[in-house]
Amino acid sequence: MERLFAMAMTNIICSTNMAACNIFLGTDIVDVERINRLIQKYGNTFLFRIFNVNEIAYCWRTVKSANSFAARFATKEAFAKALGTGIGKNVGWKDISVGKKSSGEPYIILSKKGKNKIKALGISSIKVSISHTKTLAQAVVMLIK
């Protein structure tokens, strides 16, 4: 199976057996200590501005909660970048949340506003990859049209 890839900014156009698709790619990397400082300084004000209740509960249950918060922060940023809008008027922090399947695979959960945005763009699938070390969290989000 032949795959041809051409990249223009964050939009990748692929062709597989004559069936075309558009892939919109977003990535972000976050300093875990920066997130930890924000949590220490602003506490729940910061957390509830960025994350929903389920995300906060999940992250506090992990051994290294700052790493989990940073990974989710990076995922939200990467998703917004893949949309081409960034965080703001079109999609906000709480319009995007991150879940985790029993297999460990992360996935995006969208608010009604977020769902309407991807529907308007014709997005049929969202793929997420999250990774972190002691000091950095990174996410890649792929929106497939």
Give the residue numbers marked as catalytic.
81, 132
Query: For residue 22, with 0-12 CB atoms within 10 Å meaning exposed, 13-18 middle and 19 or more buried, which class applies?
Result: middle
Which one-letter amino acid corresponds to residue 47? L
Residue 44 identity (one-letter amino acid): N
| Angle between helices 65-83 and 53-61 in degrees, nearest 10 | 140
